[in-house]
Amino acid sequence: MTNALGGRTAGALKRAFGHETVGDLLAHYPRRYARRGELTALSELAIGESVTIVAEVLDVRERTMRARRGSILEVRISDGQGILTLTFFNQAWRAKDLVTGVRGIFAGKVGDYRGNRQLAHPDYELFESGDDRAAEAGDAEAQRWAKQPIPIYPASASVASWQVAKSVEVALDTLPPLPDSVPEGIRGELQLMPLREAYEKVHRPERDRDWKAARETLKFDEAFVLQSALLQQRAEVRQSPATSRTPKAGGLLDVFDRALPFDLTGDQSLVGSEIARDLEADVPMNRLVQGEVGSGKTLVALRAMLAVAESGGQSALLAPTEVLASQHLRSIVQTLGPDLAARLRPVLLTGQMPVAQRRKAMLAIVSGQAHIVVGTHALISDGVEFYDLGLVVVDEQHRFGVEQREALRQKGAAGTSRQSPHVLVLTATPIPRTVAMTVFGDLDVSTIAELPKGRQPIESFVVPLVDRPGWISRVWERSAEEIARGRQVFVVCPAIDRATPEAGDPADESPTDPDGLDGGRPVEHAGVDDTAAPPTAPRPPIASVEEVLAALRVAPALQGRRIEPLHGRMSSAEKDETMQRFARGEIDVLVATTVIEVGVDVPNASTMVVLDAERFGVSQLHQLRGRVGRGGYAGLCLLVTHSEEGSLARQRVEAVASTADGFELAQIDLDLRREGDVLGSVQSGGRSSLRLLRVAHDGDVITLAREHAAEVIESDPSLADHPALAAALARRLDDASRTAMSKN
């Protein structure tokens, strides 16, 4: 990019946006297109309208501002029938161009100052001497310029939209012919334009239909390259050998199933059959199981572990927190029963275990005595070796980096079998179809939507403190009523203390226009970053465990109640002891961070209070709500928020209160969130690589691209006959991204 733009410009673009190549710059697409509007006579100007006029400069003067430092440049222009003033603040240098007698086209929004119409910081293009456009407003060339869409680019404090536009102009002028990653036959069938033409028309459109058609071509190109990469990776994984794991008749799995005190749900049976077929194959299973909170995903995974144990293999369950890992182990031992537990010897391995206990666990793992291993990130440390790792189960995949998951999978290939283990990924966050295709396109996806019998309903309510600040007292009174009935209460805070948010605290999810377009807005003047957000009103401090704990211990409604904290800064032993005490009913109110978000199962807990609920995402609130209503009692979820009515944050909270359907909420979540939030951390551990493609709105494009990509990959897995596509994969999905994608 330095050769094309020069070192200073290239450096500025890299610092502002991370662009390193001309391709990066060309993929910095306009976020919207402004319209100059029809040419308007000065006598017809209306306040507040965006107008474009052809006029001549009458005179220019600069004056000092009285109320603050700086100057105002005032330029009077006329079309021969009326007079209008242009004003520029602290831009006296424009007087060198806007000299008396020069003519041009001026565009902006009409304002009023002391009864006089004016354009503040208008966009303009001046005519050179003898320019044919320097005619009356009806001139055809002037009309064409006036109607031409103006690209408005994502900008930064250091690089303005117009500076991006100039850099793009230079890049386009020197751009050589480009090979098309989409094969010619597919382009012809879908009536897509060549890639070089698409870049030209998306950045320098003559009319609206130019950039619209270009965007459709570029969207498909983006989807096609991504799906080709996913499908190629899927084909490569299936070329690796794996040990077939088939349960024996009357063996461990049959013994387990006969002892279950309930029948499997239809979905559990169906997904179990899909997993069984995968395990029996001699290629690695690579399956994602998504399901509602409490739908029995862990039970399905445990049955798969028993099938692997039949052949002497081991299974490793990777959990995101020590609290959840400990609970998984206790639940597995209890579900297996004493006889099967003794035969399979489930063990726990976490980073904070005592040294002697850790060594004992590692010996059971490396010797193969432990057929089921449950742990946290400690499972992937260098000193941990497996005897015959046949199955990797990743619980709550979104809580792990892709490198961590791959490290555990590689341990299977280092065992006695020297073959890749089967991989089963679990998530209680339902995934819309388009996200599954875009992020997990190399995985087979199974869904458990049916809940087991006996799950109790959960009533959810929004507590809007910005409108009803007194309602917080009723929250604690309602909690006390549940405790009086013998129940227990979760209170969740987004921070440990005022200075310490819990790890994984969700980022703000401000909205963006899904297509990056807002053509009805007026033209911005050069140099202004129109992506800057307006200042927000001050809000109360973030609710923290420490402060809420202290407040509840003296709250009149909760006097005499047993109230304890739980958060990520506590030691492993402290967290485990606290959760066990809560599970035994020795704690009435647990004030916690999102450490209890997934997997925690306390049937006696009936109430979930989420403070500052607007600071959590839709799926996260749904997960938290799923911690109650797990016993024989109806659940209650109170979502306490300071967000204003009508705001995006309030919409998220209200959406969760309106439905308990996780799949419906997943679609709402997708519609409300930024694209990078949906794809970034999952796809490659960084920001989303998508530019124009929007999974919330472009499902048809993604589906079509996947169909065509599948045909290409099936007929040409190595892409030997499609060099342009192979080059596009190498160019857009660098080695780090490709490695990350292969580890999903």
Over 90: is that where the pLDDT of 549 sits? yes
8 A C-beta contact, residue 289 and residue 424: yes
Exposure string of 392-421, with b = 16+ CB inside 10 Å and e = fewer, is bbbbbbbbbebebbbbbbebbbebebebbb
Q: Which residue has the higher pLDDT, 219 or 431?
A: 219
Q: Of residues 369 and 416, which shows the higher confidence score?
A: 369
Longest dimension (CA), the chain: 99
Domains of the chain: 36-148 (2.40.50.140), 252-448 (3.40.50.300), 458-498+541-659 (3.40.50.300)
Which of 326-340, 480-494, 607-621 ranks highest by mean pLDDT? 480-494
pLDDT in the model for residue 361? 94
Lowest mean per-residue pLDDT among 141-155, 242-256, 561-575, 582-596 = 141-155
For the stretch 80-97, pLDDT in tens is: 778 899 999 888 889 998
On the 0-12 / 13-18 / 19+ scale of CB atoms within 10 A, 350 is: buried
C-alpha pair distances (Å), 134 with each of 77, 98, 206, 385: 14, 15, 20, 79
pLDDT of residue 501: 63
User: Under DSSP, is residue 197 helix (H, G, I), strand (E, B) or coil?
Assistant: helix
Amino acid, res. 307: A
Model pLDDT for residues 564-604, shown as the tens digit of each residue: 999 988 887 888 899 889 999 999 999 999 887 665 778 89
The pLDDT score that the predictor gives to residue 454 is 67
Q: Are 545 and 497 in contact (CB under 8 A)?
A: yes
Q: Which residues touch 120 (CB under 8 Å, ≥6 apart)?
A: 86, 87, 88, 89, 108, 109, 111, 525
Mean of all residue pLDDT scores within the chain? 82
Q: What is the pLDDT of residue 266?
A: 93
Q: What is the rounded end-to-end Cα distance, in angstroms, of the chain?
A: 32
- Which pLDDT tens digit goes with each residue over 442-463? 678 898 888 777 677 899 999 9
Most confidently predicted of 4-18, 211-225, 248-262, 583-597: 211-225
Place of tokens 């610092």: 15
476: which 2 tokens?
A: 């604690």
pTM of the model: 0.67
CA distances from 201 to 1, 120, 230, 325, 506 (A): 21, 30, 29, 54, 38
Q: What is the pLDDT of residue 496?
A: 92
Name the packing angle between helices 322-344 and 252-259 (round to 10°): 110
Q: Which of 140, 138, 152 is nearest to 40 (CA)?
A: 138
Q: Stretch 651-679: mean pLDDT, rounded?
A: 75
* List of residues 6+ apart from 617 with CB closer than 8 A: 506, 509, 652, 669, 673, 677
**In whole angstroms, how far apart are CA 634 and each of 346, 592, 598, 629, 665?**
33, 21, 19, 5, 21
Question: What is the spatial distance between Cα 363 and Cα 370, in angstroms, rounded to a whole number?
Answer: 9
> Residue 674, class by beta-carbon neighbours within 10 Å (0-12 exposed, 13-18 middle, 19+ buried)?
middle
pLDDT digits (tens, 9 = 90+) for 509-545: 333 333 333 333 333 333 333 333 333 445 678 999 9
The tokens describing 667, both together, are 């679609």
Average pLDDT over residues 637-659: 92
